[in-house]
Structure 1
Amino acid sequence: MAKVRIIPAKKIITNNRNNPHSTKRRVAGYARVSTDSDEQFTSYEAQIEYYTEFIKSRPDWEFIKVYTDEGVSGTSTNRREGFKQMINDALLGEIDLIVTKSVSRFARNTVDSLTTIRMLKEKNVECYFEKENIWTFDGKGELLITIMSSIAQEESRSISENTTWGKRKQAKDGKVSVPYSNFLGYDKGPDGNMVVNEEQAELVRLIYALFLQGKSPNGIAEILTEKNIPSPGRGKQWVSSCIKSILQNEKYIGDALLQKSFTVDFLTHRQKVNEGEVPQYYVEDHHEPIVSKEMFALVQTEMKRRDGMPGRRNRRRMLSGRILCAQCGSWFGEKKWHPNSKYQKVVWQCNGKYDKAHSQCTSGNLIEQDVQRMFVIAVNRLLKDSSSILETQKLVYDTVFDTAGLERERTALIADMSVTAELMERMSSGQPSSRSNGYTHTQEYQALQIRYEQAEKRKEELDNTIQDKVAKKALATSFFDNLKKQNSQVVRFDEDLWSGLVDHLKVHSPNDVRFIFRDGSEIKVDLSEEEKKRPPLTEKQMTEISGLRRDGMSYAKIGEKLNLPRGQVRSFCLSRTSKNEAAVQEDGEHVLCKTCGKELEHTPGFRKKIFCSDGCRQDWWNRYAKFKAGEGRATNKVTCQNCGETFVTYGTNRKYCSRKCYSEHRGQEGDSRD
């Protein structure tokens, strides 16, 4: 008969790889509270102190650490950094036992609890839940943990539902909650209400003003980032989505829309934008506004208008998104000619010019200085009719922008919607309707719902109409105010005036540019015709141009400085150069400088001068660069010192017409070559 010999099991009480037979278990504690309140903070500190002393009091345990998570929910492990660090250390073999207060402190998600505990058991790491007295290595441990985790999860569901009910009750009562740490413009006052932070409020007003001046959200974000202004989240980088959020937030006009979003799942805490699934509440005049309702309405209208204009991208520069091609409907963009060279030039060109779909576009190019000159011309024409425009202002305000009737209809609709919503709420809660007229419960509820939806649709139409009228009124007010401030003709380009008056330009051709002003008026400017109307240059202007040109200033800079068209400055300089080149005496001696026309002083015995200075010489050669390339070089006729024949050469250093003549004259024999 076979003999059976028993080999007793060796109980390993630690997973320490360096010392597998150690009698002490390495123990860590875990403490967590789900909120940052003072009461919870006391509990948080008490848990840490208790488990530190509890673990150290056991002679067979070695204290490792108390891992903590403060102000974090236990329904998910995503944001619990202390918990994740503890599990990672345990899996690396640094912990043998984890002690915590209860299953709910460990996790309120049944799946997370079981998954984590099974993963730890595979690495021979045990967990002890003091309140329930559960050891995970116990045979019944997993069953008890499953039951207790399910109870903890249901408790979380109950807490979430109670919290949601409380928040919705607060919203219904008009109580506004704001994340002040990440909200620009307001602080929490002593009574818990919103108080304006004047320093931040100025930044909010600046953002609104920049947008109305034509800047895009992305352009505003770049400006604020360059100025090193911290973002609402105290970061260094601004993004366009943050700017859009500020521009669309109704809290800056003193109102508040509550329940914009709601929690879909209490375990994942996933938020969803409220699209009618739960009631919303709009609280008017809740706190002190930062911007006026007129400005806010104007911004919303402008955002809708820009969204409907594809291709109108970043409006960082003055002309960005302001020049529209009348031929193909594309926007003009900034282009650089001869980049990274001294001949670099910036022009504005239709973005659809070389698109296959717009191959016939012939709108041409525009230079920024020319646009500025055309703007001055257009504004001066507008100012001639400003008196008649301002006379019609009051009539326009009293008729076109009147919203009194719309406001009354809107107020009546809101009252009717409130009554309908109250009836629907009663029916949904099971209370019988006092207005029952024979319909079944479902039919009556559906009738109320249709009534509410129709009223809501009409209210939305009224809101859009009122907002549009208010925005147009604010736009017209700004336009008229800018006109009133301009008491005299415009002499130079003013960017503030440009932003306040002009909406955009339509370019039919370089000689047919239409300025569309913010009041809807349109003025055509033909620059070539305007050039013909300009008076001739005075002696003073000609002298100033010559002097500035001698100093190396460009045509555009001279025109900007003297308030003259670039083309007129260029024409004068080129014509003056032609006259200077003709001013040469019969003996070949130049009388005037070829560049600036200054009278030359020749020194006897020295080479005759052509230019008065090195600057004029360099300027002339830059203008006539073809001579450097070999086309039309400056040539001279020279007589050969050997044969006496005349030949043409570049420069005056050659003395012989050929190699043969050179050899003969030197008394040397050899082959000659041309």
Structure 2
Amino acid sequence: MIMLAAVYCRVSTEKDDQINSLESQMSYFLNYIENCPDLTLFQIYADKGISGTAVKNRTRFIQMMEDAEKGLFQVIITKEVSRFSRNILDAVSYSRKLRNLGVSIRFMNDGIDTSQPDAELRLSIMASLAQEESRKTSDRVKWGQTRRMEKGVVFGTSMLGYDVKKGKIAVNTDGAEIVKNIFNKYVFLHMSASEIAKELQNEGIKTYTGKEKWTPSVIIKVLKNEKYCGDLRQKKTFTPDYLTHKKKTNKCNEKTVFIKDHHAPIISRDLWEAAQQELCSRSHVKKQDSGRSNKFYFSGKIICTNCGCPFSARKKKGKDGYYTVWKCLNNQCHVRYQIRNDSLMYMTAYSYSLLNIQNEKLTEHIHSLMNMAEIQLTGTSTTSLKQKKSEIEELKIKKLNIIDAYATRKISEDEFMALKSKYDSLIIHHNNEIENLQKTQSVKKLKNTTIKKYIDKIINYNNITKSIIYNCIEKVHAYENGIVKLKFCHLPQVFEFEIYFKKSKQYTT
């Protein structure tokens, strides 16, 4: 009886030598079938560059199993058990499934034919050996990758602001500007991840993957990525099971590989650390205020001027339902009146309307203050820089003098080496100071620039949002006589309101 035969081949990589191995396997099986009078070739199924430990990615193997269920062939020919599967459970289960379908498997190098009585025992032994070899290979690969990581080789792909190629990372100028923008807005402008994402989207800036939509989670990932300050941390994910190849987040399961100052940074370390502190701070506030309404955006901002305690929020029931009021936490305090939350919202909105009216005058005043700060900053830094550079030039002259003195035998070699070492150390010290001064000047200028933008943002808001209340209101001071004063961050104006009590429980502002 002539049987239709399917041939299964697999190589684990797409390297040239492996591809040649695949072609050799196919050629061998074609010759084998031609020399077997009881076999006729049905089809060759070949998987390239696929691991044998799991079936899900082996598309041709899956297709072969589907064709077997359709009864399209009666026998499968493959090189050895490790080509068919390196997972003992898969090897045995698929062998049994095929046997129930009336399909046998011939493993040529292992001399196993599943149509024979002792085939399953021999198949289990060979599959166990193949699986153990896969485990050893996996361990060797992981060990080799870790050693390369320790030497600074970068694993992974390119990202926003950086290009990764052949294990090296380099700054991508266009992406770097977006990264700087994100950090500045988050730290200096106190914008939320959602606001930054929306602004980038409105400006038509695309994500690194080319998508038009930015999400808060993408912004948070950027802010948490240590690569942007020049550090490299690898092995953030790990593969617990070499058979499934599923990656999991490394939560102290394995030791990560960390290299400080590995590559050129996009942002300064000071800005990076400020962003991490801000992330931690906002995360803490978010956990405290999770699920709460607008009233909590005033939390910690309303202060009693009589006792210094903050006001706390509570709900009260009125004719039209529940409403929120704020009251001094100190029950012994003389300030016993309550401020309605909707009154606070009105005060904020009215203050903003006044800011908009005074827009030109206010902008001019603030910008003049900022310019004065910049002039003072530049002047101080410039003086210090000039002084340090002058000292370096003097040290260089001293070095030339001792060289002359040593050449004319006026000083000994020991004296020359001691003085040279002293002057070299001082020059290095002064150069480091110059670098730090330049960095400080750059960061302060950037901060002043972003504060200007922040102030412009405040005075141009048309609608009151939660973000404005939380990020822009500095303090609300409550006085014993019913006076309430509202102060915005970075702005000189203080807005004063008075609460008028009509009856025992009614008041207006």
> What's the TM-score, normalizing by structure 2?
0.62
1:119 shift after superposition: 1.1
Query: How many residues are paired up?
Result: 396
Select which of 115, 120, 129 maps to 2:98: 120
Structure 1 letter corresponding to 2:119 = G
Deviation (angstroms), 1:158: 0.9
> Are the aligned partners of 1:110 and 1:146 in contact in 2 as well (CA < 8 Å)?
yes
Aligned residue number for residue 117 of structure 2: 139
SS at 2:123's partner residue?
A: helix
Counterpart pick for 1:176 among 153, 178, 195: 153
**What is the one-letter code of the residue matched to 1:301?**
Q
Question: Following the alignment from structure 2 to structure 1, what is the Cα–Cα distance between the partners of residues 81 and 32?
Answer: 18
| Equivalent in the alignment of 1:525 | 495
Shift of 1:118: 0.7
Structure 1 residues 210 and 382: CA distance shift in structure 2, 3 A: closer
Deviates more, 1:155-164 or 1:32-41: 32-41
Structure 1 or 2: more helix by fraction: 2
Q: CA deviation at 1:491?
A: 13
The answer as to 2:234 corresponding to 1:261 is no
Q: Distance in 2 between matches of 1:483 and 1:217?
A: 18
361-370 or 116-125, larger mean C-alpha shift = 361-370
1:216: how far off? 3.4
Q: 1:365-385, CA deviations, whole angstroms, 9 ceiling, x for partnerless residues?
A: 358685264375877776787
1:71 equivalent to 2:49? Answer yes
Q: Does the CA contact (< 8 Å) of 1:373 and 1:493 recur in 2?
A: no
Task: Call closer, same or farther: CA 1:208–1:484 in 2, change over 3 Å.
Answer: closer
TM-fit CA distance, 1:121: 0.9
Separation of aligned partners in 2, 1:40 and 1:514: 71
Once residues 307 and 473 of structure 1 are traced to their aligned partners in structure 2, the CA distance between those partners, rounded to angstroms, is 30
Question: What SS is found at the alignment partner of 2:240?
Answer: strand
Partner Cα distance (2:56, 2:294) in 1: 44
What amino acid maps onto 2:59 in structure 1?
Answer: E
Counterpart CA distance in 1 for 2:176 and 2:30 is 48
Shift of 1:115: 0.9
Relative to structure 2, which stretch is displaced further, 260-269 or 246-255? 260-269
The 1-side partners of 2:210 and 2:271 are apart by 27
Equivalent pair of 2:374/2:448 in contact (CA under 8 Å): yes
Deviation at 1:297, TM superposition (A): 2.2
Shift of 1:52: 5.6
Conservation of the 8 A alpha-carbon contact between 2:352 and 2:459: no
Give the 3 Å change call, closer, same or farther, for CA 158–363 of structure 1 in structure 2.
same
Superposed CA RMSD in Å reads 4.8
Is 2:278 the counterpart of 1:302?
A: yes
> Whole-Å Cα distance in 1 between the matches of residues 457 and 209 of structure 2?
45
For the 8 Å contact 1:254–1:285, the answer to whether it is kept is yes
Match of 2:219? 243
Q: Which structure has the larger Rg over C-alpha atoms?
A: 1
Report if aligned partners of 1:107, 1:149 keep a CA contact under 8 Å in 2: yes
- Deviation (angstroms), 1:132: 1.0
Residue 302 of structure 1 aligns with an amino acid whose one-letter code is E
1: distance between equivalents of 2:79 and 2:110? 9
Q: 1:255 to 1:512 in 2, by over 3 A?
A: same
Deviation at 1:196, TM superposition (A): 2.5
Partner residue, 1:617: none
Check conservation: 1:323, 1:504, Cα contact below 8 A: no
Q: Which amino acid letter does the alignment assign opposite residue 193 of structure 1?
A: K
Matched with 2:472 is 504
Counterpart position of 1:549: none
Is contact 1:100-1:130 (8 Å) kept? Answer: yes
Change (3 A) 1:475 1:193: closer
3-state SS of the aligned residue for 1:359? strand
Q: Check whether the contact 2:107–2:113 (CA below 8 A) recurs between aligned residues.
A: yes
- Is 1:513 the counterpart of 2:494? The answer is no
Note if contact 1:326-1:508 (Cα within 8 Å) is conserved in structure 2.
Answer: no
Corresponding residue number in structure 2 for 1:333:
none
What whole-Å deviation, never above 9, does each CA across 1:196-229 have from its counterpart, x for those lacking one?
A: 3333334433443443444433444455567776
Which residue number corresponds to residue 186 of structure 2? 211
The one-letter code matched in structure 2 to 1:97 is V
C-alpha contact (below 8 Å) 1:363/1:507 kept by paired residues: no
Which residue number corresponds to residue 268 of structure 2? Answer: 292
Paired with 1:175 and 1:266, the residues of 2 have a C-alpha distance of 25
Question: Aligned residue for 1:194?
Answer: 169
| C-alpha distance after superposition, 1:522-550 (max 9, x if no partner) | 86323899xxxxxxxxxxxxxxxxxxxxx
Secondary structure of the residue aligned to 2:68 is: helix
| Alignment partner, residue 106 of structure 1 | 84
Q: Deviations over 1:319-370 (max 9, x none)?
A: x9999325899xxxxxxxxxxxxxxxxxxxxx99899997335132358685
- TM-score with structure 1 setting the length: 0.49
Shift of 1:145: 0.7
Q: What is the 5 A alignment of 1:451-490?
A: 478-481=446-449
The SS at the match of 1:178 is: coil
Once the two structures are TM-superposed, the CA of residue 277 in structure 1 deviates from its matched residue by 4.7
Going from structure 1 to structure 2, the CA distance change for 1:83 and 1:321 (only over 3 Å counts) comes to: farther
| Distance (Å, rounded) in 2 between the aligned partners of 1:119 and 1:226 | 56
Could you say what secondary structure the match of 1:168 adopts?
Answer: helix
Structure 1 CA distance for aligned equivalents of residues 32 and 213 of structure 2: 47
Query: 1:480/1:218 Cα in 2 relative to 1: closer, same or farther (>3 Å)?
Result: closer
Partner of 2:416: none
1:371 aligns with 2:352: yes
- CA–CA distance in structure 1, aligned partners of residues 364 and 442 of structure 2: 23
Structure 1 residues 352 and 260: alpha-carbon distance in aligned structure 2, compared to 1, 3 A threshold:
farther
1:146 CA displacement: 0.4
Structure 2, unaligned runs of 5 or more: 303-312, 327-339, 382-438, 462-466, 500-509
Percent identity between the aligned chains?
29
Question: How far apart are residue 256 of structure 1 and its match?
Answer: 0.6
User: Cα distance, 1:302 vs. partner?
Assistant: 1.9
